Amino acid sequence: MQDQILVTRSSMPGFEEYIEEIRSMWDSRWLTNMGPKHREFQEKLKEYLGVENIDLLTNGHMALELTLQAMNLQGEVITTPFTFASTTHAIVRNGLTPVFCDINPDDFTMDVEKLESLITDYTCAILPVHVYGNICNIEEIERIARKYELKVIYDAAHTFGETYKGRGIGSFGDASCFSFHATKVFNSLEGGAVCYRDQGFGNAIYELKNFGIHGPEEVSAVGANAKMNEFCAAMGLCNLRHVEEEIGKRKKAAERYRSHLEGIEGLQLNAVQKDVKQNYAYFPVVFEEKAFGASREEVFERLAENGIGARKYFYPLTNTFSCFHRKYDVRETPVALHVSRRVLTLPMYADLALEDVDRICGIILGCRK
């Protein structure tokens, strides 16, 4: 019996490296509340990501949710249903109404040709999602946002370390939110961050992540407890030293997948975008049953039978969740629905052996009738 291959595997530094990073905490006993590790991690992230300002939070969801709250928005937020639950939930939990824009079939990001038609007098913001490491049409989104005076908040959870035309992906929009969850290209055990331009927003997000506390005797907002602790910051510092090496390993795995699967009828592989420095976060494949000879479900089951984890990511669409029963019409996002029913993300992580990629591809190609 061969070892099970999971869809992802967390990157971690050497044990001794992490122990050395946290050693000083046993003397200081400073474990949370924006301590030395938090501050150092924040500065090093700012430099690596090439952004003006950044704040750290307990996870990527709180980065999104508190960003929307800090902007004091009301009304409708245009977003995409082809995303993780967090994106839509952050909008709804702020008392805002999500309006779903379909995706384009090439890179699975928001279809900007359909965006402007969704804007109403109630629209206050656009929340596009960079998907699988594919970035949105930034120029067109920014143009439309300026035209209608809308805020732009990017869900950048899939694009850590990427650049577009030499510029850090987190520097676009009014804010860009990252996740440092254990399953991501880069992790801090658990964590997240928001990159932003306006210092007024920065003051608001800082207060909101710390109960709305403005000073020792002043609480000026109804906030949350979303502070990153020192252990997570220490893991982030360690992993940041190795992230480029980890991305390089992912690239080799992605290239191996392509060597087997590219050009196969009925398989759509992830886009290779111009002017983007990729991070190889995921390896999605869209299966067209008639052309390929097997459905997504058949491939999923065959991989599982062989101890290989794949993920139907993103399925189901957020506008079909039972918690939103009959609230949204999925027929308004037909491309997203089509892709969600056919896509699998294959195992992808830095330590994935190329021989295992070969085996995975052999099983997939063996599903054809």
Q: 212 CB contacts (<8 Å, ≥6 apart)? A: 219, 220, 221, 222, 223
What is the distance in angstroms between the CA of the first residue and the CA of the last residue of the chain?
26
Whole-number CA gyration radius for the chain: 21
pLDDT digits (tens, 9 = 90+) for 100-110: 999 999 999 99
Which H helix or E strand runs over 36? helix 36-49
- What span, in angstroms and rounded, lies between the C-alpha atoms of 19 and 201? 35
Kindly list the structural domains of the chain, giving each domain's residue range(s) and its CATH number in brackets, ordered by start: 15-237 (3.40.640.10), 242-365 (3.90.1150.10)
Sheet containing 123-126: order of strands:
53-57, 192-196, 175-179, 151-155, 123-126, 76-79, 97-100
Q: Nearest to residue 129, comparing CAs of 258, 317, 267, 323?
A: 317
pTM over 0.75: yes
Looking at residue 129, its amino acid is V
The pair phi, psi for residue 219, each rounded to 5°, is -120, 105
What does the buried/exposed string (b/e) look like for 174-201 if buried means 16 or more CB atoms within 10 Å of the residue's CB? bbbbbbbbbebbbbbbbbbbbbbeeeeb
The pair phi, psi for residue 287, each rounded to 5°, is -105, 115
The β-bridge partners of 167 are 164
Secondary structure (3-state) at 354: helix
Q: What is the DSSP string of 108-163?
A: -SB-HHHHGGG--TTEEEE--B-BTTBPP-HHHHHHHHHHHT-EEEEE-TT-TT-E
Looking at residue 81, its amino acid is P
- What span, in angstroms and rounded, lies between the C-alpha atoms of 338 and 94? 29
Sheet containing 283-287: order of strands:
267-269, 283-287, 343-346
Burial class (CB in 10 A: 0-12, 13-18, 19+), 48: middle
pLDDT digits (tens, 9 = 90+) for 78-120: 999 999 999 999 999 999 999 999 999 999 999 999 999 999 9
pLDDT at 2: 66
pLDDT at 200: 95
Regions in the chain scoring below 70 on pLDDT: 1-2
